[in-house]
Structure 1
Amino acid sequence: MFDPRADNLDRTMPTLTTTELKPPFATEHSLVAPSQTILPAAVRRGHALASPENDPPAFLSDELLTPKLDRLHAYLWVAGLPVPARPLQRQRMMKRAIFLTERADEHLVWHQDRLFLKPLPNFLLCHDFWEQNLCQDPALHKSACGMLLSYAWLVEHESDFRLAKELGLLPGDVQWHAWVGFMKGFLASLNKSTGTDMDMMDHVDRRYQYGELRLSRLNMLTRYFLPSLWSRRNFVFGFTSTSTWYTAFFERNFGWLLGVFIYLNVILTALQVGLATRVLQESEQFQNISYAVILISILGLALGVVLILLVWVTLFCYHLLSTLALTKEVRRREILSREKDV
């Protein structure tokens, strides 16, 4: 078993050259023909749209690599366990709602009762596509193998397969018997190249040494514990922002204040009842305790209100200034583009 806290795991893994890389399944197990591979209609490049065909390596890097999780890898043991993710029918039994994401960094990340999953790109089921595009780059090859391995975890039984088709996680024309044959060939290929089930992880991206990752822990690591990742944007949004509403932000970060005020209210009510009794009215010690608790309650309430207002003003100013800066930058690029065209 590997050490989840080690930050140099990839240094001990065997390095494959591009000439040694092969698709992790045989041609006969391919589920998608080359003519049926479908790429997205458009992809984002910064704040603009581009066609994936214009720059296939950049598109595949955005589609499969997990750079944010790579930077957090030495601390991922805080956010998840080094075990396979649970299959879809278990996720449904745990009352988790499945939300689709097209970002590989967010694949298998969960938050409260939500699980984020990236639909399996159909080109990963095409043998020719692997040979032409993925076997030329070791990093892409490992990430693609990891994505397939994650679906070996998620879709184990036919019940999982039906859920995957219902949720749009698998290509619509894939059948159950074909999926079973594909996965048997894929897992056999990884085992054949390594010799043992444990060593098969050497040939997938290290992100997939972990299954499900907890978003709140990833946000905590991104915001507070890694100086190399610190930035104003990361501090505000964390690993990934689940909501941009101020109401949701304050509920998530200041809900505990409500509990504190409820407990204080109970204590103050008890003190008030105690002061109504003759014995405690004559107790100087009880009077001093009541006086201190009242002052602490008033001061705590005032500080809580000031803190909430300060955070709200800070966030409002940050978003306002960020919007103005982004608008200015987009307009500057538009002007430069027009000048080049002229």
Structure 2
Amino acid sequence: MDGHSIRNRAAEKLIPPIPKSKPMKASTSTHDAELSLPALAFQGHRFLRPNQDRRAYLALDLKTPRLNDIHQHLWLAGLPSAARPLHRQKLIGRSILITEDPDEHMVWFETHIFIKPLPDFLFDWDCWNDNLCSDHELHKSAYGLLLSYAWLVQHKSDLDIAKEASLLPEHLEWPDWVRFLEAFLDNVNLHTLSDVNKRYHYGELRLSRLNTIYRLAPPTYSVTNFIRGYRAGSTWYNAFFERHFKWMLAVFAILSVFLSALQVGLATPKLQENGSFQRASYGFTIASVVAVMAGVALVFIVWLGLFGYYLLSTWWNDRAVAYKRHRRETSGEAGLEGVTAHK
């Protein structure tokens, strides 16, 4: 059997739950699916034209390279089990934040969880056949994203939440969704998950632990990743001081309680005559003063280092992008850099 026949068989497994001649309401024709792609997308510092380079855009929209790079450490950030359905996410107090980055899909922090809306083209048989079934990794990534929605939207209440949050089309009805998932799940090995991208062997992932993994794990270790982590939070310096002075104030409060207790102890005649207690009180007092000064100095040094890093990296990035644009302009190359958007 040749490669073309194999791809056709793979595509047959992905036929939506209704005939091609009568697509369900959430589906689109191939032409409409193409038109639904955005006019512009960003890939690093490059501008991407999805309707001109569909394969590159689908990879950007579906693949999870950053999580795959640290797959062997994901057990520290989440469980190898299905994600909670949306109604459970609401029940435990999490709000849904929309992300278009598949690497952030089902990543949570504090009382928020990032969810990527399900692309309309995944409802279209022709898009699967023409674009997804010819790329093994792209095919597995699309499988994984659909499987995640089988976890997230298990009940009609989940579908209502998904439509309210603009994760699924408004006109998608519950019976259509069930039939679509039934057809899809018939083609997934739910015991081994060998058909899906390995990122989806895990469900929800905790952002704070992903930041730690990305900073310290050998596969992704770099100065940039050490500072930014997996997903950089607020870069406002008041947020930096607020975040770090919180734990410092807690430590200082504990030290104050101990120092007050020592002061009360030294006021009692019995402990005033206890040499060991006086030496311990003296040592703890000196250590507390040093700890306070060292803590403040450490936060200041870290802030100064971050200020220098962001200043230098911003300057270097500005020079690098300007050089690339100038080189493309002088060479007459109609590239994908931002300069082409203004021509």
* TM-score between both structures, scaled by the size of structure 1: 0.89
Q: Is the 8 A contact 2:85 2:154 kept in 1?
A: yes
Cα-to-partner distance string for 1:12-67 (whole Å, 9 max, x where unaligned): xxxx9645422544245354122332112311133243310121111111111111
List gaps (5 residues or longer) in structure 2: 334-343
Structure 1 unpaired stretches of 5+: 1-15
Distance in 2, Cα, partners of 1:188 & 1:133:
21
**Counterpart residue type for residue 10 of structure 2:** L
State the alpha-carbon separation in 2 of the partners of residues 56 and 241 from structure 1.
29
Following TM superposition, by how much is the alpha carbon of 1:128 offset from its aligned partner in structure 2, in angstroms?
A: 0.6
Provide the rounded CA distance (Å) in 2 between the counterparts of 1:23 and 1:114. Answer: 38
The answer to whether the 8 Å contact 1:109/1:212 transfers is yes
**Aligned-pair distance for 1:258?**
2.0
Find the counterpart in structure 1 of residue 138 from structure 2. Answer: 140
Counterpart residue number, 1:32: 27
Aligned to 2:340: none
Cα offset, 1:293, TM superposition: 0.7
Cα deviation, residue 246, structure 1: 2.8
Query: Matched residues, percent identical?
Result: 44
Aligned mate of 1:83, from 81, 93, 104: 81
Question: CA contact under 8 A between 1:79 and 1:214: conserved in structure 2?
Answer: yes
Check 1:24–1:263 CA distance in 2 against 1; reply closer, same or farther (3 A cut).
farther
Q: CA separation in 2, counterparts of 1:88 and 1:276?
A: 60
Query: Which residue of structure 2 lines up, in the alignment, with residue 93 of structure 1?
Result: 91
Shift of 1:179: 1.1
Alignment partners' CA distance in 2, 1:18 and 1:243: 45
1:18/1:137 contact within 8 Å kept: no
- One-letter amino acid of the counterpart of residue 107, structure 1: H
What is the SS of the residue equivalent to 1:98?
A: strand
Q: Is 1:208 aligned with 2:200?
A: yes
Partner of 1:218: 210
Q: Which amino acid in the other structure matches residue 255 of structure 1?
A: K
User: In the aligned structure 1, how far is the partner of 2:13 from the partner of 2:222?
Assistant: 39
Task: Indicate the SS of the match to 1:116.
Answer: strand
What's 2:105 paired with? 107
Counterpart amino acid of residue 294 in structure 1: T
Residues 48 and 57, structure 2, Cα contact 8 Å, conserved in 1: no
- Could you tell me how far apart the structure 2 residues matched to 1:84 and 1:36 are? 32
Report the equivalent of 2:226.
Answer: 235
TM-score by length of 2: 0.88
Conservation of the 8 A alpha-carbon contact between 1:23 and 1:130: no
CA shift, 1:254, in A, is 5.5
Whether the aligned pair in 2 keeps the contact of 1:85 and 1:154 (CA below 8 Å) is yes
Q: How many residues end up aligned between the 2 structures?
A: 320
Is 1:22 aligned to 2:15, yes or no? no
- 2:128 partner letter: W
Specify the SS of the correspondent of 1:242.
Answer: coil
Q: Give deviations 1:176-235, integer Å, cap 9, x for gaps.
A: 221121111111232xxx5xx413x111111111100111111111111x2231111100
